[in-house]
Each structure stands twice: as structure tokens, then as C-alpha cells.
A and B are shown apart, each in its own frame.
Chain A
Amino acid sequence: MTSLRHRLAQRSLAGVAAIGASVLVLSGCGAAPSSSGASGGASATNSNYLGCMVSDSGGFDDKSFNQSGFQGLQQAVKDLGIQEKHVQSKADTDYDPNLRSMVQAGCKLTVTVGFLLGDATKNIATANPNSHFAIIDYSDPTFPKNVKPIVYDTAQAAFLAGYLAAGVSKTGKVATFGGLNIPTVTIFMDGFADGVKYYNQKKGKNVQVLGWDKDKQDGVFVGDFKSIDKGKVLTQGFLQQGADIVLPVAGPVGAGAGSAILDAKKSGTDAKLLWVDSDGYLTAPDYKSVLLSSVQKTMATAVETVLKDDANGKFDATPYVGTLANGGVALAPYHDLDSAVPADLKSEVDQLKSDIVSGKVKVSSKSSPVSQ
């Protein structure tokens, strides 16, 4: 029995090998390229410039800041003709070795993503004063002079989203939940809650926010940025409590909220979704039909700008702070749900935006990088 099976296995292996060999013979007849042909870049200096990136444990496909930052790197390769290397971290323990490997690979500037890489970035930057680093969404006053923080005052754009949600809501209840109770998440929730509050003050309404209490700095959290099913269950709970607009601040978990809202729509309940970080219309097209807008952090642009400056020898360690004023944060277009937003509400949101830019309306959050 064993020997029969063995013989069969041998025969099938031989068969596979034969097919493989014939494919090789059939396809392997092309001419070899000349070995001296170096690929032409945009400019000679840029093609020697190596820009690198290390993800956090979410990976480059997290539909969130790792992904947006990575797009910036790719954009820089395309526009500036620089070289790139990127490594993905599988766990928090990978950050230090990954960063070292980037320095060893000769990276001029390495972009790291998120507070989890804060300590590792600081250590490696201190040990390698000639390499440059940029870190997204984290700032530390004790960073050495070769680290540039890229941070966002996201509360400003979330404020607009809160105002918009309060105006669009028919039930008078809107909801939000986060991945973890950490500053880069709760800053969205702070801004959102304040936006709703501002709407209530202006209009004398009483739209409620479920899932976040700004004063107590506590609310509803998934516990991670992975459990899409939990996001779905949480959203279903919010819908049952009467909320009709949900803002999930949990990266890929937002997909759970999206599918709960799509389900609700099928059974006749009207509900809408707000996306975060990127324009969900482009990054999460499955939920186009229920997507009201997105609270965007335009990281790709920031990353590309930082790389460009460094390639041109203009690196500095002053933090880049994304605001409504410089377009670092923004409220995305309404896309398919444009008709669901009344015209006067649209102009109020636009007015509010310019009021925030001019400083007439102050947006505050404990988690804001500006307040730190």
C-alpha cells in the first residue's frame, strides 16, 4: 500500500517536472538583455536617492495610515524617480531590527508609521545621526535632530464631520467607535462630538452622540484594529439604539460598520457611514452607496513632500502639522450621497471650515498634536 502510494507520488512528481521543463524550454528562448543597461531615472541625483519605509504591525494593506503613507512613497518614486525599499513589520518586536536593516540598506530617509515605532525610531535615529527619519502620527519632544514628525490636527476635519452628521441625521442620534483608546483615534472622536455639540448650540437642537464621551475621554472601542466582525456587531447595536450615522475610527474594522449599514439598508433602515483616514469612496468602494463623507488625513502628500525636500537637501526636523488650512486634513466630497445633504447645510459646512481656518471657531482636543 505504502509502496504503491509512493510509486504514484513519484510518477506524478515526474509528470509535474516534465511539464515544468517543457514550459521552460518553450518560453526560455528569448534574448538576454544587455547587462550594462541601467534604467534611466528622472534625474541622476534622484535615481541614487533611496527612500524607505517601515510599517507598523498593521501592514501596508491596512486601508489606513500605513497604506496612505506607502502610497506617498510610491508616488515619490513615480514623480521624483527615486529608489525605494519598504519592509513590513509583523509584530511590535520587529520594529528595531527592521529599522536597522533599512539603515544598513543605505536609506537616506526612512519613514516610520505610528506611535508604536516611536521608541525604535528615536533609538535608531540617535545611533545613526547621518540618516534621516520621518514618523507619521507621532511626535516626541525628545526626538533627535534627524527625525521629522508628521502629525495631524484631525479634530478640525472631524469637527466638520460631526456638524455634517448632526445636520443629516433624521433620528437625532449619531454614533462613533474606536479601535483602541489612543490619542490618534480619540482625536477623531473628540472633534466629531464637538462638531455635533456646535450644531446643537447653533440650531438649538439636541442631536446625541453615542459611543464617545469627550469629558470622560471614554467610549466604545473594539480593542484592536483587526476584528471586523466586532465592528459589525457594535454598529448593529448603534443602529438598534436609533443612530443613523456611524463613524468607525478603527482602520480596517470600518468595513464591519460598512457591512452592517448595508445590511440595514437592505432591510429598509436608512443609515449612513463616515470613513476615516482616506477617502472611503476610493479605498472602500463596497460602501459607496451609504458613504456620506470621510475625515481625511492626506498622508500620501505629506510623505511625498518630506521625501522631495530631503532629496533636494532641504530636510528639517520641524514637525509637519496637517490642518484644514494647509490641506493636511480635510472632509472628503459627498460623492454619491451628494443629494442627501441639503444645500444650506453644505454652505454651512464650508463656512465652518473657513471659520476654523481663520481661528474664529476653536477646535480643541486633549489628543491634538498642537496642544501637546
Chain B
Amino acid sequence: MTEAQQVPETAQAPLPTGPALPTPEGRGQTLLRRIATGTPMVSLLSVVLAIVIGGILMAVTNPKVATAMGYFLARPSDAITEIFRPYAALVQGSIYNWQGADLAAQLYPLAETLTVSTPLIFAGLGVALAFRAGLFNIGAQGQLIFGALFGAYVGFTWHLPIGLHLLVVILAGIVGGGIWGGIVGFLKARTGAHEVIVTIMFNYVASFLLLFLLTTPAFQRKGSTNPISPFLDQNALFPELLGPQFRLHAGFILAILVTWGVWWIVNRSTVGFEFRAVGANPNAARTAGVNVGRATVLVMALAGALAGLSGIAQVSGTEKYLSAGVAASIGFDAITVALLGRSTPWGTFFAGLLFGAFRAGGVAMQAVTQTPIDIVLVIQSLIVLFIAAPPLVRAVFGLNPRKPKSKATKRSAQSGAAA
């Protein structure tokens, strides 16, 4: 984009070594890294701020609040109750239902939150892992679809014994997502194709491929021409953890294990160290002997595999069949989840839980108080906005960043752009 970036590129061009070199980290990349690895305080305050603004939006758009405001001085409790009702419903629908008839009904919301967050955690980990290697993986959506496609096909065409079948389905999902993500890494390493563009396009390819396959007899139910696949075999499904009246399935346990696994890869393994080195500065990593191309392919394949698991959580967990909307907007929400989790595995895990709670609670909010579900999307979007603008959050809460630190980041940003 700028000359400062192009000069070193031409200087590197004569290097005859095999794979094309990834472009040096530009200003956008630096900014991205700073957003993706912000401080926990900014994440927390962003959520608080988004919830407050969401509350104000609900209050001003709710005619009942306006009516109650009309006699605010006479009986303020009405207005206050109306203002807090939607959020009360959100909590009631996501954590604990104090109006539930029995214990099962009271705990249903919590189980629902865990269920809904499972695919978000997997896909969020996929995005977060790529972030750590300096890659902006917008393609979780497509990778999820590929994982679901592979897993579902194996799930409804093969008939294997209990235990084995689920294992094979999970592996198929890992392979499906891994291939779709790996191709992106390969293109990036070989040709320098920018992963953002490639993953966005791959999302389209994946979703239209899914749409097409669902019109073919191989993927359609017998005797139906609707674009819905047959149900997966009972053996191919995650076991229910709390019985049939809850949707919570063993995929959530797998999510905890996988989060730990990603933490181990990133922080304890050699490849994880290489990923982080490439993410921090690809040129320095190369000088230090890291095979940047190999790391790029590997990290994208792993990211794709994680998103693929998210697809398995859908088809083997909650949906039990393949439809065109199997991915919902999970692949895109995953980007927010990873941002909110500052790209750390456990941060992503808890961000996934929070978004799961928003999703689960949003349903109750809509059903009980008839608040439009869009308000949940507004809150999610506001969170992203605030995370992307840490100075704004600090200004609102009157926090001043420590001066020397901000200078240091500025300097490193400049040197990053010029390097």
C-alpha cells in the first residue's frame, strides 16, 4: 500500500528460495495484532459498555417504558422494572430460571448456554490460533461447513458400532475443516495470496457447495426433495449429558479438552512457539530458522480443523442433520469471540460462554418480553466496536494508559511498518 512497505518487498524478491515469502507486517497487520491481543480490562469494559448501551436502546424503543416514564414521579418502580425486564429475561434464559417448576427447568438455561457456546468455542479457537500466527482467519464459516459436510456424510451413510462411529465422524470433521483451512495456508505460503481475501471467497465456495450438494440425491432424505439431509445415525451423535430434556451433549466436554489442547500447543509445544514467532515478526522468525511457509500451512490447517469440530458440534450435537443453515453465523461470531478472548485459548473459551449466554438468553428475552432478537446482535457488534477502539473505552471509563507504554507500542508499530 505505501512505499515503505514495497521497498523491502523488492529487496526480498531476488531471494531464490522455494516458497514465496509472506509480505512483511504492514500497518494494518500491526493494528490487527494489537486489537487481537488487547488487555483483559478492555475486553471486560467493552462488554459492560455494550450492555449499558444495549439497555438504553431497549428502553427508548420500548413503548411500555415510555408509558411508565409518563408517571415516573408518581410510581418510579414501574419504569425501572420495565427497563430491567429484558435483561432479567436474558439472565433467566441463560443462567438460572427462578420461575422454573422443578430443578430441571431451573437449570435448563445454564445447560442451554453451554450447548450453544460449544460450537462458538471450537470456531473461536480456530480464529484465535490463526491470530497468534499473525493470520486473520475470516474463513471459520467455510471451514465449519466443510467439517459439517464431511462429518454428516460419514454420519448418515456409514453404519458403524457405537463409539467408533462418533470417533470417525469427529475425525471426518477435523479432516474436512483441516483441508479447507490448509488450502488457504498453502496458497498464502506458496503464492502470498492474502488469507483474508482467500478465506472470504472460500466461505462462499463452501456455502454454495453445501447448497448444491443438498439438492443431490446423495445428500437428500429418501422421498423428499427438500434440501435437508437424512438424520445422522444414533451412534454418530454425541451422547446427551443430562438426559433428553436437555440439549447439552458431550461435545462440550470435548470443547474443554480441545481448549486445553490448544493452550498446550500455543504455550508449551515447539510448533506453538514457531506460530507465535511468525505472528510476532515473520522476518525475524525466518532469520531464526523457522520455516515460515510450513508454519503458515500448519496453523491454517489446525485452525480449519478446529472450525471443522464446530461443524461436528452442530451435526452430531444439536442439529442432527445437515441443512443449508447448519453454520448459522457461528463462523463470523467466532471472530468476535476470539477478539474478546484476546486470542488466548481460555480467554476464547470464556468469551464463547458469554456469547452462548447471549444467544440462549436472547431466545428467552424475545419469548418473554418480546424484545427483538436483533438487540443481542447489536450488543455483540458494540462489543467488537469497543474492543477495536481501546482509547474510546478508556476515555469513557476515565482510564489513562500509562504514558511510556503507549509510546513504546507506537514506536514498535512504526518500526513494524517500516521493517
Query: A33 touching B227 by the CB < 8 A rule?
Result: no
Residue of A nearest to B406 (CB): A2
Query: B395 touching A91 by the CB < 8 A rule?
Result: no
Quote the shortest CB–CB distance from A146 to chain B (angstroms). 18
Contact check: which of A32, A85, A87, A105 meets B373 at CB < 8 Å?
Answer: A87
Say yes or no for A119: interface residue by CB 8 A criterion. yes
Query: B70 touching A27 by the CB < 8 A rule?
Result: yes
Quote the shortest CB–CB distance from A43 to chain B (angstroms). 23
Quote the shortest CB–CB distance from B48 to chain A (angstroms). 15
Quote the shortest CB–CB distance from B27 to chain A (angstroms). 21
Say yes or no for A367: interface residue by CB 8 A criterion. yes
Query: B398 touching A6 by the CB < 8 A rule?
Result: yes
Residue of A nearest to B370 (CB): A85
Mask, A267-309, CB within 8 Å of B = 1, is: 0000000000000000000000000000000000000000000
Query: B395 touching A9 by the CB < 8 A rule?
Result: yes
Contact check: which of A29, A31, A91 meets B328 at CB < 8 Å?
Answer: A91
Query: B74 touching A32 by the CB < 8 A rule?
Result: yes
Residue of B nearest to A92 (CB): B325
Interface residues of B in 376-419 (CB under 8 A from A): 377, 391, 395-396, 398, 400-401
Query: B328 touching A93 by the CB < 8 A rule?
Result: yes
Total residues of chain A contacting the partner, CB 8 A = 44
Query: B372 touching A88 by the CB < 8 A rule?
Result: yes
Quote the shortest CB–CB distance from A299 to chain B (angstroms). 19
Say yes or no for B341: interface residue by CB 8 A criterion. no
Say yes or no for B319: interface residue by CB 8 A criterion. yes
Query: B72 touching A97 by the CB < 8 A rule?
Result: no
Query: A101 touching B323 by the CB < 8 A rule?
Result: no
Query: B325 touching A91 by the CB < 8 A rule?
Result: yes
Question: How far apart sit A300 and B353, CA to CA, in the bound complex (Å)?
Answer: 40
Query: A97 touching B70 by the CB < 8 A rule?
Result: no
Question: How far apart sit A278 and B235, CA to CA, in the bound complex (Å)?
Answer: 45
Query: A28 touching B367 by the CB < 8 A rule?
Result: no
Query: In terms of DSSP, what is the predominant structure of the interface of chain A?
Result: helix
Say yes or no for A3: interface residue by CB 8 A criterion. yes
Mask, A1-45, CB within 8 Å of B = 1, is: 011011001100000000000001101111111000000000000
Q: A28-B69, A92-B328, A180-B227 are in contact. Are A2 and B400 (CB under 8 A)?
A: yes
Say yes or no for B93: interface residue by CB 8 A criterion. yes
Q: Number of contact residues on B: which range applies?
A: 35 or more
Query: A28 touching B391 by the CB < 8 A rule?
Result: no
Question: How far apart sit A27 and B70, CA to CA, in the bound complex (Å)?
Answer: 6
Question: How far apart sit A127 and B370, CA to CA, in the bound complex (Å)?
Answer: 24
At the interface with chain A, which of B15-23, B166-174, B255-263, B358-366?
B358-366
Question: How far apart sit A127 and B246, CA to CA, in the bound complex (Å)?
Answer: 12
Residues from chain A with Cβ under 8 Å of B321 in the complex? 119
Mask, A177-206, CB within 8 Å of B = 1, is: 000111100000000000000000000000
Say yes or no for A160: interface residue by CB 8 A criterion. no
Residues from chain A with Cβ under 8 Å of B197 in the complex? none
Query: A183 touching B226 by the CB < 8 A rule?
Result: yes
Quote the shortest CB–CB distance from A332 to chain B (angstroms). 27
Residues from chain B with Cβ under 8 Å of A226 in the complex? none
Say yes or no for A115: interface residue by CB 8 A criterion. yes
Say yes or no for A264: interface residue by CB 8 A criterion. no
Question: How far apart sit A194 and B368, CA to CA, in the bound complex (Å)?
Answer: 47
Say yes or no for A86: interface residue by CB 8 A criterion. yes
Question: How far apart sit A94 and B367, CA to CA, in the bound complex (Å)?
Answer: 12
Quote the shortest CB–CB distance from B400 to chain A (angstroms). 6
Say yes or no for B75: interface residue by CB 8 A criterion. yes
Say yes or no for A346: interface residue by CB 8 A criterion. no
Say yes or no for B285: interface residue by CB 8 A criterion. no
Query: A32 touching B391 by the CB < 8 A rule?
Result: no
Query: A30 touching B74 by the CB < 8 A rule?
Result: yes
Say yes or no for B73: interface residue by CB 8 A criterion. yes
Say yes or no for A90: interface residue by CB 8 A criterion. yes
Say yes or no for B264: interface residue by CB 8 A criterion. no
Say yes or no for B280: interface residue by CB 8 A criterion. no
Say yes or no for A116: interface residue by CB 8 A criterion. yes
Residues from chain B with Cβ under 8 Å of A342 in the complex? none
Say yes or no for B143: interface residue by CB 8 A criterion. no
Residues from chain B with Cβ under 8 Å of A3 in the complex? 400
Say yes or no for A348: interface residue by CB 8 A criterion. no
Query: A6 touching B395 by the CB < 8 A rule?
Result: yes
Residue of B nearest to A56 (CB): B325
Question: How far apart sit A300 and B396, CA to CA, in the bound complex (Å)?
Answer: 49
Say yes or no for A236: interface residue by CB 8 A criterion. no
Q: A9-B396, A27-B70, A115-B226 are in contact. Are A32 and B78 (CB under 8 A)?
A: yes
Listed from nearest, the 8 A-B pairs whose CB atoms lie closest are A92-B325, A28-B72, A91-B328, A101-B367, A32-B75, A32-B74, A30-B71, A30-B70
Q: 13 other contacts beyond A91-B325, A93-B330, with CB at 8 A cut-off?
A: A2-B395, A6-B398, A6-B400, A24-B69, A87-B373, A90-B328, A92-B328, A96-B247, A98-B367, A118-B226, A119-B321, A180-B227, A183-B226
Please list the residues of chain B having a beta carbon within 8 angstroms of any beta carbon in chain A: 69-75, 78, 93, 105, 112, 116, 208, 211, 215, 225-228, 244-245, 247, 314, 318-319, 321, 323-326, 328-330, 360, 363-364, 366-368, 370, 372-373, 377, 391, 395-396, 398, 400-401
Please list the residues of chain A having a beta carbon within 8 angstroms of any beta carbon in chain B: 2-3, 5-6, 9-10, 24-25, 27-33, 57, 85-88, 90-94, 96-98, 101-102, 104-105, 115-116, 118-119, 127, 180-183, 223, 366-367
